[in-house]
Amino acid sequence: MKVALVILNYNGASLLSKYLPSVLAHSQGTEVWVIDNASTDDSARVLEEEFPQVNVLFNSENNGYAGGYNWGLTQIEADVYGLLNSDLQVTSGWLEPLAYMMKENPEISIVQPKIKDLKKPEYFEYAGAAGGFLDRLGYPFCRGRVFQSIETDLGQYNDTIPVFWATGACFLVRSSVFHELGGFDADYFAHQEEIDFCWRAQNQGHQVWYNGQSEVFHLGGSTLSNMNPRKTFLNFRNSLFTLLKNTAKPEVFALLFARMVLDGIAAVVFLLQRKPAHSWAVFRAHLAFYQSCRSMWAKRGKSQKSVKFYRTTSIVWLHYVQQIREYRGLVKD
C-alpha cells in the first residue's frame, strides 16, 4: 500500500522551514509532496534550497484548501493520501498505526490521529482533537473540544473508534474514495469541507475512524486566524452548505430554519461582544448561502439518503445553558 503525504501551502515559507523537517524525519520511506497554492512569499525558494527531496506542484492560483487539494491530488499516484497542514508537527511512529489500520481494514476509508496543541502540548487542539461529531442541529464538536472548551489529554481518548468527521489538519484517505467522491467541494474554498466530505463518504457506505495511538501537534490559525471575520464568514456559510447538501429531505428545511435562528442570535452576541465585523460576517454568510441554495441543492443525490449524522441533541443548550464543558458530559459512549 503506497502512501503519499501531501501538504498544502500558501505563503507558509516559515512554516515549511519549521515543521516540514519533522514530517521528513518521522515518515522515512514515504513520498512527501507539497502543493503550493500560488504563494507570493519565499515558499518556492525554501522548498528548492532546503527540501530538494520533496516533490512540489505549483498551482497558478490560490484555490483554497478544497480546490488546491483537488487540483494537486489528481497528479499524485498513491493508494492512500495523507493530508497535512503546513503547521503540523508529527511525532516518531505517528504514521504506522494509521497506515496499518487502513491496510488491514478495507472498509475504513478515512482515519485521523490524535491532534494536540503545539503551543500547549498537554491539551487537545481545537481543529480536530480526538475525532469529530455533529449535534442534532449540525454544530460540530470533538472528543476533547466543545466550542472553545479544550480538554487536557489524560489518556481518556487513547482508543480507536469510528467518528463522524476527521479533521482536515491531518487525516489519511484512500485515493480511490477521494476521487470517487469528486474530492472536496471547491465552492467551500476553506473550512468545514472535511465535514462535508466525510458525510458524503458515509452516505456512500465508507467508514471514518479515529486512532488514538497516533499523535501529532498542530499550531492552528496559521493561514486564517480566529480573529479574522473571513473565518467567521466561511464557517457559518459552509456549515449551512453542508446541511443543505447532506441532510435527508424530510428534515432539511426545519433544520436549516433552526440554524438560521441560532445564527441570528450568534450575530447579536458578536455585537454585544463588540465584534461588529464578525456580526456582519454572519449576515454576509447567510446572503451568500441564499444566493447559492440552488447550486448546492443540485449537488444532492437524486434519491438522497443520509446516515444518522448527530451524536447528541443540542450542544448549544448543553454547553451554554447546562454548563457542560467536556465531551463525556454531552455523549454517552
Task: Characterize 301-310 residue by residue with b for buried, 16 or more Cβ atoms within 10 angstroms of its Cβ, and e for exposed.
Answer: eeeeebeebb
Residue 51 to residues 55, 77, 81, 87: CA-CA distances in angstroms?
9, 21, 20, 16
State how far the Cα of 73 lies from the Cα of 51, in Å rounded to an integer.
Answer: 20
The predicted-structure confidence for 116-172, as pLDDT tens digits, reads as follows 999 999 999 999 999 999 999 999 999 999 999 999 999 999 999 999 999 999 999
pLDDT at residue 249 in the model: 83
pLDDT at residue 127 in the model: 93
The predicted-structure confidence for 233-290, as pLDDT tens digits, reads as follows 999 999 999 999 999 888 899 999 999 999 999 999 999 999 999 999 999 999 999 9
Q: Any bridge partners for residue 229, and if so which?
A: none
State how far the Cα of 253 lies from the Cα of 308, in Å rounded to an integer.
Answer: 16
pLDDT at residue 303 in the model: 47
Contact 153, 92 (CB under 8 A): no
Q: Beginning with the edge strand found earlier in the chain, give each strand of the sheet holding 132-135 in spatial order.
A: 149-150, 145-146, 140-142, 132-135, 310-312
pTM higher than 0.85:
yes
Q: Does the pLDDT of residue 99 top 80, yes or no?
A: yes
pLDDT at residue 333 in the model: 62
300: cell is 444532492
Q: Does the pLDDT of residue 329 top 50, yes or no?
A: yes
Q: Does the pLDDT of residue 302 top 90, yes or no?
A: no
- Taking each helix axis from N to C terminus, what angle separates 229-246 and 249-272, rounded to the nearest 10 degrees? 170
pLDDT at residue 327 in the model: 95
Q: In the Cβ-directed half-sphere of 105, how many Cα atoms lie within 13 Å?
A: 20
What domains are there in the chain, each with its CATH number?
3-218 (3.90.550.10), 229-330 (no CATH)
The predicted-structure confidence for 9-52, as pLDDT tens digits, reads as follows 999 999 999 999 999 999 999 999 999 999 999 999 999 999 99
pLDDT at residue 306 in the model: 74
Residues 6+ apart with CB under 8 A from 205: none
pLDDT at residue 304 in the model: 61
Q: In the Cβ-directed half-sphere of 109, how many Cα atoms lie within 13 Å?
A: 20
